[in-house]
Each structure stands twice: as C-alpha cells, then as structure tokens.
Chains A and B, each alone.
Chain A
C-alpha cells in the first residue's frame, strides 16, 4: 500500500517537471518566431535608412524557368527604377490568384505580416475591411503625393473607392469595359448551308440542326451549346430574357453578389431558366455542365471540335495555343465566328459590361509605409513606367506603329519571359492603357496571333454593343456584403437545378430554389435596396 503511494508521489513530481520543460520549450519557440518577425519588418524608420515596402502580388504559378513571382524582370525593374532612388526595398508577397479573397482574409487577420499594399476584385471584401476600420484613408495622401496617379485614374474611377464618404481604396482603371461575345462554328454552318443566326429563335433552330445532323461528325458526341456554371457562359443568355424595367425596378430588384449584378428577381429571369431547361432536356447542352466550374471540360470539348456554339469573355478563344488555335490544329478547316445572337424583347443584344474600375487597391491602417505605398503607385502612373511594365522593351517585345505598340511576332524566350506577370504587376490598370478606348482595343487586338486579328476586333465590337453598366450604389448594402458568397452559390444552384429538372417539375423546382434563395439573404438584400431607393428618391 505504502509502496504504491510512494510511487505515485514520485511520479507526480517528474510529471510536473516534464510540464515545465514543455512549457519552457514552447516559450522558446515563441521567442524564436517573434524574433524572426521583427527581422522581416526591415529597419526602423531612421533618417535615410532603407525601408521595406511590402506589396501583394497574384501568383498564378506560371513563372518561367529562372524567375519566381517575387524575383523577375519586372520586380527588378521596380527595384531599380523606384526602390533604389528612394531607398526603399520593395518586397512582394505572393497570394494565389484562385484564392485571393480567402488568402487575403487570412493575411489581414494575421496582423503582423500584412503587406502595405493589398488589393482585391471583390467589392464586398473592400467594404468589409473599410467597415471594420482596417483601411487607411488615402484621400489626403493622394492629394499630397500622387498628382499623376489622380490624373490617370480620373474622378469617375476614384469614386468607386469611396466608402461612406471616405477614400478607403484606390480603384484600378479598366482599359476596356466590354465583357462577352458568342462564338459559332462557321464551318458547321457552311456545311449545313445555314445562315448565321441573329436571334435567339434562329439560334435554337441552328442548335437543333447541329444536334440532328452532327456536321462535325463527332459520332453522336456533339454538344450543340457549350455551357458551364461560370458567368461568361450563362450571362449573355440570361440577361437577354430580362424584360425592360423602370429605373426603380432595376435599382431595387438587382442583386449584387461579389463584383457582378445578378438578375434573380428581375422580370424575365424565370423565362431564361425555362429556356435553359428546354435546351437541357432536348440534349442541346452538356449533361455535365454543372460539374464544370472552371470551364476546363468545355475548353477540352471546344478544342476537340464537339461544341458548336458558346458564349465567352470576348477575346478568350483567340490566345496563342488557346481554344481556336488548338481546335484548328485538331480539326483543319474549323473556325469560330464571333456573333451576337441573344436578342431581348426590344431587339437589343443586351449584355452586361464592366464597371470602369478594376480591382480595389488598399493600404491597411496598420501599415507604417503608407507614404511609400502611395509613392509606388504614383511612380507607376508617372513617365512611361506603366507603358514599360505593360509592353516591355522596344525592339524586343514590341515595335511602335503610330503610337500603338505591336507585339513582335516571334519574340525571344527572354523577351517573352519578361512579361509573364505584366498584368499582375501593373496593378493600377486593368488592361493596356494608351489614352483612349479605341486605341486600347486596337492594342489589345494586336496582342493576339495575326490570323485572328479580324475575329478579335469583331468580338470586341460585339462585347461593347448594347451593353449596360452595373448599377452604382451610393452606399454599400450590408446584406450584400454579408450574404454575397452564400447567395452566389445559391444562384448557381438555382440555374443548375431548374435547368436539369424534368420539364414538368420545372415550376416546383423554381419555386423551391427561389424560396431558399430569398430566405438565405435574398429578401434582406431586397429590403435594404428598397429602403435605400426610397431614401434617395424621397
């Protein structure tokens, strides 16, 4: 008995020691990590001492050999042209492009290592940060340090960065606001002797002919209409069914989820779903479209010549080694013709366009390098820095024709690798900026392989035809910030469920999905927008 007691007493003591040891090792670990944190912060802001400016950068995992996303031609250019003269070390913090919001949230919440310049395409994320008081008011800094940047962006674009009266973000400027065009297999039309469809009804007839006559000789594998659950594929179709609305209806019934406007409650939306349902049940769209979130499967099917028609971001099919390029390698003689076909009740090819701003560039309130951050953006907007970042080196990457830079046709490996992250480094602009929309579009078309030049121009013209702008809200709708992500999934789910329902079950499926959508935040958005409209219009 006494023996056992003794043993347990003995046992307890070492246990305590072990615990103390463990705790001690923990503190040691903690001490180590906090030490390294300090080291990364760079020197104290002593006079003339070199400081570190941390800038977020999107990582698409496409760095060429010999370069990384944080160390490449453009980062060196920034360091030499901007960093060294100002005694600033510019350090890039990579964030994976596909999870920008998630990673940015984690970065911001982690406190210590937040970059001095962060950005997002998602207005709700911007609003949330502003509301929680995490962002710096950049208005005064812009006035003091950034005359060129302000002139470059202009009043209209800057407005998008205002949250409840304060300039909490610097929105990038978009060079081109067109979004979508549709594409049809021209060779299939010729083979069937059919005209290019110009209305939704004609398109339906064409799709049926594609299905029945299989002009691509796919052996029954034909997918007349390429569809996915990415917005580029369904938006042109859906918006063409939306009926004319009053300004009040448009304001109150539109739902902004993420960065796009959605027509969930607008009159005509149900008709669009009904049409999708018909297409699906007649086998005109892929049975697996609901599985295709990232357009990968559709891309494959286009390249393999199974798809007859689809809608897409205007110039998307025309990249080097892109859809059309691969299609023509696989099937000689195949061609994609850009067309405008989804006509609304007013005879217009109504489709959404982008807001004039690109992503929201923000400086966290906790940043010690706000002035340097603004100076960096100002530097980018000054002299020919932006031009250089977007176009590279004259003679190696481009030649000037008039004042439009034309990409050199067979650039050296080195020249090509120079520009791999151009779009993600030139953050103040979305797309090439040459002073006017016409020039911007021309320059964009010239970037593409020569044989596709006319098609690219046509697609761009279509993307800018009959467009309507996103609705500008003078104040953020809180319910949209809160429920946006959830509702966006519900919206996609609604499209999928109603499209795939049996025709006789369409009605009940639609009711069920809409009900769920409204209860999950749709109603809250509607109420808030209605209240705001009343407030603004008396």
Chain B
C-alpha cells in the first residue's frame, strides 16, 4: 500500500491521535525548555535566554536549606501514609460494590461515594474546620455535651495526620473505585459459578478469583503511585494544614510556592521541581523493575 493510500485509509486514526500528541508536545515537552532556569541566575526582566548561567550553585543552595529537608520528609511521610490508607480503600470499596446484588442500592452508593471527588479542596477545608475545630467544631461540641474534653483534631500534629488521611480517603476513595470496577467487569462470571459449585464461599471467591483478576490493575496503579512519592498536590496540604501543625503540613509543593511564587526566587523553585521529577523517575523505574522481577507485571 502506498503512503497516500495508507493515509487516506487511516487518516481518522491520525486525526484522533493528533490532539493528544499536540497536548503532550505543547504542555509537557514545551515547558521543559524552562528547566534551564535551574542552572541560571534567573532574572525576570532579562528572560530565560538572557539570564546568566550559574551551574549547580542553586542546587547547592537548595540542598543547604533546612526547609528543603523538612518539607521533603513531610512529603514522603504524607505520601507513604496516604499510600497505606488511601490505596487499599478504593480496592476494598470496589469489591464491596461488586458484591452488592441490589442494583438500585449499588448505584446509589456509587453516586454518594463519587460526590466528594467533585468538591474543591477550598470547600472541603471549610467543612473540615466546621467539623473538626477544637473550639466550636461539630464533633467537639458533641463531645462537650457528654462532658468529654475537646480533642484538638487540627492543631495537634499527630491528630492532624489522622484527620488529613481520613479526609483524603473520604475525598478520593469513591472515585478511585472506577478503575477497579472497570477491571472487574473483565472477570469471567463462569469462574464464580464454577467456584460456587466447588463449594467456595464468598471470601474464598474474592481471594481466589476477584483479587487475582485485579492484580494487573493493582500493580499498575501501585507503580504509578510510587512514581508520585516525591510530588504532592498543593491544595490538600495547604488548605487542610495550618500554623499549629506546620511541622508536618509544610511540604515540597508549599515550599515551592513560598520560595517561587511568593518570594520570586524562580531558580530555587525550579531546582526543587527538577529534583522531584528526577527522583520520581527513579522511583517509577525502580518499582517497575522490582515488580517485573517479583510478579511479572509491569507498565514498561
């Protein structure tokens, strides 16, 4: 088939891929040009091209900052705890939803579980304050009416960690079930029937059929999650965090916001960004490699 004929025949496919491709080129590859800011004494008014090269000086400065290590530790800690709590949650929820036989109740539960995903963190921040506040939060008001002393959910750093994780699960778990539910539809129903005839109960079926069926999905998601270990969203820690728990809530993204956008030190902010990207890549490749060795599942 000639080139012309080939294109004529399949042009729709190329038209389809052109937009995502353009997206990646414009928004993911294009900005990489800006990485050089990390190696330059960036001056607003001279632009990227006009600023002076300084080699690794900015890296030395960032790696000498106390806040960098504190925020790095907090980022890893929050992400790791989140992985422990928020990663299994959608999986468990998905299996529970899958096991539900009453259709209307299943649909209703799904919708209710999805809703938090669509609420902005700013709103969630307000809700959290109303519910968990020490002086006049809902829970503490309730406790007070039973004569129990108020619990500082938001201002004690360890309590805050728990609040942070719970809010995270509440916000994301329902949405996270979608991928698992999609994967579950791919499992052959006959397997369940056969297992039933062989006398397997519900938990046996989950253990031997559902979970193995989900294994590839779980591994892919886990690898992708590990890749994000050093990067953390800005809104959740910034909004749920506060001055009293800054020791835990100050993370790399808020650090970058502070030194970059607020103090105008774009060079330092870029260094941190580049550091996150490089470590993220190492994590992804590393976990991919290990997973390939151990389970034969991988994304590359």
Contacts of A101 in B (CB 8 A): 262, 264
Q: Which listed residue (B25, B244, B263) contacts A500, Cβ 8 A?
A: B244
Interface residues in B, total, Cβ within 8 A: 43
| Chain B positions 252 through 291: 1 when the CB is less than 8 Å from some CB of chain A, otherwise 0 | 0000001101111110000000000000000000000000
User: Are B133's CB and A288's CB within 8 A?
Assistant: yes
Contacts of B136 in A (CB 8 A): 221, 288
Q: Which listed residue (B152, B155, B261, B266) contacts A102, Cβ 8 A?
A: B261
Contacts of A132 in B (CB 8 A): 43-46
- Secondary structure of the A contact surface, majority rule: helix
Enumerate the 10 nearest inter-chain pairs by beta-carbon distance, A residue then B residue, closest first.
Answer: A134-B45, A290-B244, A287-B134, A496-B243, A288-B135, A287-B135, A102-B261, A485-B263, A485-B262, A290-B243
Identify the A interface with B (CB < 8 A): 10, 13-14, 17-19, 21-23, 25-26, 29, 101-102, 105-106, 108-109, 111, 124-125, 128-129, 132-134, 220-221, 223, 229, 286-288, 290-291, 293, 297, 364-366, 482, 484-486, 489, 492-493, 496-497, 500, 516, 519-520
Q: Closest chain A residue to B30 by CB distance?
A: A26
| Contact A520 B135, CB 8 Å, known A18-B17, A22-B25, A109-B44 | no
Q: Closest chain A residue to B244 by CB distance?
A: A290
Q: Which listed residue (A29, A286, A297, A520) contacts B26, Cβ 8 A?
A: A29
Q: Which listed residue (A22, A102, A291) contacts B129, Cβ 8 A?
A: A291
A284 shortest CB reach to chain B, Å? 12
Q: Which listed residue (A21, A109, A486) contacts B18, Cβ 8 A?
A: A21
| Contact A489 B135, CB 8 Å, known A125-B264, A290-B244 | no
Interface centre among A102, A106, A129 (most CB of B within 10 A): A102
User: Are B244's CB and A111's CB within 8 A?
Assistant: no
Q: Which listed residue (A14, A105, A229) contacts B243, Cβ 8 A?
A: A229
| Interface: B66 (CB within 8 A) | yes
Contacts of A18 in B (CB 8 A): 14, 17-18, 21
Contacts of B243 in A (CB 8 A): 229, 290-291, 293, 489, 492-493, 496
Q: Closest chain B residue to A15 by CB distance?
A: B14
| Interface: B3 (CB within 8 A) | yes
User: Are A22's CB and B22's CB within 8 A?
Assistant: yes
Separation of A221 and B136 alpha carbons in the complex (Å): 8
A256 shortest CB reach to chain B, Å? 14
Separation of A26 and B19 alpha carbons in the complex (Å): 11
User: Are B67's CB and A520's CB within 8 A?
Assistant: yes
Q: Which listed residue (B14, B66, B129, B137) contacts A14, Cβ 8 A?
A: B14
User: Are B258's CB and A291's CB within 8 A?
Assistant: no
| Interface: B242 (CB within 8 A) | yes
Separation of A287 and B65 alpha carbons in the complex (Å): 32
| Interface: B203 (CB within 8 A) | no
Contacts of B152 in A (CB 8 A): 287
Separation of A489 and B44 alpha carbons in the complex (Å): 25
Separation of A484 and B21 alpha carbons in the complex (Å): 42
Q: Closest chain A residue to B150 by CB distance?
A: A287
Q: Closest chain B residue to A25 by CB distance?
A: B22
Separation of A134 and B266 alpha carbons in the complex (Å): 15
Q: What's the count of A-B pairs with C-beta under 8 Å?
A: 121
B254 shortest CB reach to chain A, Å? 9
Task: Give 24 A-B contacts (CB < 8 Å), ordered by A residue.
Answer: A10-B3, A14-B3, A18-B18, A21-B14, A21-B18, A22-B21, A22-B25, A101-B264, A102-B261, A128-B264, A132-B43, A132-B45, A134-B45, A220-B144, A288-B135, A288-B136, A288-B137, A291-B242, A291-B244, A364-B45, A366-B45, A489-B243, A493-B243, A496-B244
Contacts of B261 in A (CB 8 A): 102, 105-106
Contacts of A22 in B (CB 8 A): 18, 21-22, 25
Contacts of A288 in B (CB 8 A): 129, 133-137, 154-155
Contacts of A366 in B (CB 8 A): 45
Given contacts A288-B137, A516-B66, 8 further A-B pairs with CB under 8 A are A14-B10, A17-B7, A105-B264, A108-B45, A132-B45, A288-B154, A489-B258, A497-B244
Separation of A221 and B137 alpha carbons in the complex (Å): 12
Contacts of A23 in B (CB 8 A): 25
Q: Which listed residue (B1, B67, B262) contacts A10, Cβ 8 A?
A: B1
User: Are B3's CB and A13's CB within 8 A?
Assistant: yes
| Interface: B47 (CB within 8 A) | yes
| Interface: B6 (CB within 8 A) | yes
Q: Closest chain B residue to A132 by CB distance?
A: B43
Contacts of A13 in B (CB 8 A): 3, 6
Contacts of A109 in B (CB 8 A): 44, 266
User: Are B21's CB and A102's CB within 8 A?
Assistant: no
Q: Closest chain B residue to A497 by CB distance?
A: B244
User: Are A129's CB and B44's CB within 8 A?
Assistant: yes
Interface centre among B18, B44, B65, B265 (most CB of A within 10 A): B44
Separation of A101 and B155 alpha carbons in the complex (Å): 29
| Interface: B205 (CB within 8 A) | no
B262 shortest CB reach to chain A, Å? 5
Contacts of B133 in A (CB 8 A): 288, 291
A513 shortest CB reach to chain B, Å? 10
Contacts of A229 in B (CB 8 A): 243
Separation of A128 and B262 alpha carbons in the complex (Å): 12
| Interface: B246 (CB within 8 A) | yes
Contacts of B263 in A (CB 8 A): 124, 482, 484-486
Contacts of A111 in B (CB 8 A): 47
User: Are A25's CB and B135's CB within 8 A?
Assistant: no
Contacts of B65 in A (CB 8 A): 520
| Chain B positions 229 through 264: 1 when the CB is less than 8 Å from some CB of chain A, otherwise 0 | 000000000000011101000000000001101111
User: Are B14's CB and A134's CB within 8 A?
Assistant: no
Q: Which listed residue (A26, A134, A221, A489) contacts B22, Cβ 8 A?
A: A26
Separation of A229 and B242 alpha carbons in the complex (Å): 11
Contacts of A291 in B (CB 8 A): 129, 133, 154-155, 242-244
B279 shortest CB reach to chain A, Å? 23
User: Are B258's CB and A10's CB within 8 A?
Assistant: no
| Chain B positions 29 through 63: 1 when the CB is less than 8 Å from some CB of chain A, otherwise 0 | 00000000000000111110000000000000000
Separation of A19 and B264 alpha carbons in the complex (Å): 37
B179 shortest CB reach to chain A, Å? 29
User: Are A519's CB and B66's CB within 8 A?
Assistant: yes
Contacts of B258 in A (CB 8 A): 485-486, 489
| Contact A10 B44, CB 8 Å, known A287-B155, A291-B154 | no
Separation of A428 and B134 alpha carbons in the complex (Å): 44
Separation of A110 and B270 alpha carbons in the complex (Å): 16
